């Protein structure tokens, strides 16, 4: 295959994963890793390193907008990302010691979990977005200072445990970890869904960079492959954020679930081959 | 600040901090994408495949590579900007919290940078 064709395949693949991820509210890692491993034949750890770069790019662009619009909670995000980054550091260090088949098996489980999450996700635009509880006037504590104007943060300890788990998963599987962080913040900590999603996005950058540094310094990031893929993901995510309101997400979600399950089957076969 | 939750929407000082961080993230991301794009165009123009060896990261070589319009210089610098932008965001927030006397958030910001510094150190030790 010609160099130009190689570059275009990576670019177009990146655009597709960025577009899909953006429309469905995912960082894109769950799609980039299968694209690079199953589609283009790269080793899993190479794909994970490249995926980490891509999720930092998409997170940076989106988080800037979320902060500008004051949707993301900076205090809560920074507090939890201290623990996601710690988890990602540990994950990045142990990733190179774990057999690739084990990681492929874990990624298969992640794909199935993502598909099930997509099937169960409410379809209404504001579903689950109601303020959890008005923040009353209470003496200032660290947790209360993490709360927003119309919601109160609860169970910070459980959130911290979830954050560590999300960080480890991010480093091992090359994902942003939103599939863990958003439910933890929304369901357990009482953060409105829109704020939880925006805050999770803000946290992805530092989480992924903690493990991306380990991958980079250990030679786990193939720069010439990462560059066109990251550009493609950035373009795809930018397009997705502009057309999301005009797309029937129910059809897209059904198609996506089918793709995820097919990919999970392929990844499982690769793990046990 | 004592007595009720402090939020970005209520705190006048936060109104300056969050847009500044937002601008930093946006500028960092666009700068990284611009560098990566130049690198990929140069790479493809040279006839090399993205699957070819990238020579590995050598920070000291980046200025010379960029001066000579070699793709590796632009691509590695772009990747470094990608990875450094979130840490720059934390450093900016840390300075903002220090200026406002929010000691607990300043400690959180410092600890995050310690974790990042630890990942650089440990990766070097493991690799070495």
* Percent above pLDDT 90 for chain A: 29
Q: How far is A12 from chain B (nearest CA, A)?
A: 14
Q: Name which residue leads in pLDDT, A18 or B41.
A: B41
Chain A residues with CB under 8 Å of B52 CB are 3, 224
Here the tokens at position A35 are 């694209």
Determine the pLDDT at residue A73: 92
Is A151 at the interface with chain B, CB within 8 A?
no
CB contact under 8 A, A140 and B89: no
Is B119 at the interface with chain A, CB within 8 A?
yes
Is B101 at the interface with chain A, CB within 8 A?
no
Non-local (6+) Cβ contacts of A176 within 8 A are A26, A27, A28, A29, A55, A58, A59, A170, A200, A201, A204, A207, A208
CB contact under 8 A, A78 and B10: no
The highest-confidence range among A72-86, A101-115, A186-200, by mean pLDDT, is A72-86
pTM assigned to the model: 0.86
Mean pLDDT of B30-41: 96
CB contact under 8 A, B123 and A60: no
Determine the pLDDT at residue A132: 52
Non-local (6+) Cβ contacts of A74 within 8 A are A67, A202, B8, B14, B17, B18, B21, B93
Chain B residues with CB under 8 Å of A84 CB are none
Is A97 at the interface with chain B, CB within 8 A?
no
The ipTM value here is 0.86
Chain A residues with CB under 8 Å of B62 CB are none
Evaluate whether B21 touches A74 at the Cβ level (below 8 Å): yes
Mean pLDDT of B18-35: 94
């Amino acid at each position: 295959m010609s160099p130009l064709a190689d570059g275009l395949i990576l670019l177009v693949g990146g655009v597709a994963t960025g577009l899909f991820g953006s429309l469905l509210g995912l960082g894109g890692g769950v799609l980039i890793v299968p694209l690079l491993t199953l589609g283009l034949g790269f080793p899993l750890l190479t794909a994970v390193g490249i995926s980490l770069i891509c999720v930092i790019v998409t997170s940076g662009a989106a988080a800037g907008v979320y902060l500008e619009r004051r949707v993301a909670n900076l205090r809560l995000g920074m507090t939890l990302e201290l623990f996601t980054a710690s988890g990602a550091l540990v994950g990045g260090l142990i990733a190179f010691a774990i057999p690739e088949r084990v990681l492929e098996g874990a990624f298969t489980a992640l794909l199935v979990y993502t598909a099930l999450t997509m099937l169960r996700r409410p379809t209404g635009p504001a579903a689950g977005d109601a303020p959890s509880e008005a923040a009353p006037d209470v003496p200032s504590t660290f947790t209360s200072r993490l709360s927003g104007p119309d919601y109160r943060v609860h169970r910070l300890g459980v959130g911290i445990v979830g954050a560590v788990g999300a960080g480890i998963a991010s480093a091992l599987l090359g994902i942003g970890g939103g599939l863990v962080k958003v439910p933890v913040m929304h369901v357990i900590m009482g953060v409105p869904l829109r704020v939880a999603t925006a805050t999770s996005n803000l946290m992805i950058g530092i989480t992924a960079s903690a493990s991306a540094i380990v991958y980079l310094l250990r030679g786990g990031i193939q720069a010439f492959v990462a560059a066109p893929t990251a550009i493609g993901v950035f373009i795809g995510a930018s397009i997705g954020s502009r057309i999301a309101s005009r797309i029937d997400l129910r059809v897209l979600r059904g198609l996506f679930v089918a793709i995820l399950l097919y990919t999970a089957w392929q990844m499982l076969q690769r793990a046990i081959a | 600040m004592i007595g009720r939750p402090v939020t970005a929407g209520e705190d006048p000082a936060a109104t300056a901090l969050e847009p500044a961080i937002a601008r930093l993230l946006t500028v960092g991301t666009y700068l990284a994408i611009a560098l990566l794009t130049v690198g990929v165009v140069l790479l493809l123009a040279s006839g090399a495949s993205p699957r070819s060896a990238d020579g590995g990261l050598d920070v000291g070589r980046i200025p010379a590579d960029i001066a000579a319009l070699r793709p590796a210089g632009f691509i590695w610098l772009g990747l470094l900007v990608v990875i450094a932008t979130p840490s720059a965001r934390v450093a900016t927030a840390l300075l903002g919290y220090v200026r406002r006397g929010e000691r607990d958030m300043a400690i959180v910001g410092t600890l995050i940078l310690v974790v990042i510094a630890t990942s650089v150190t440990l990766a070097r030790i493991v690799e070495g």
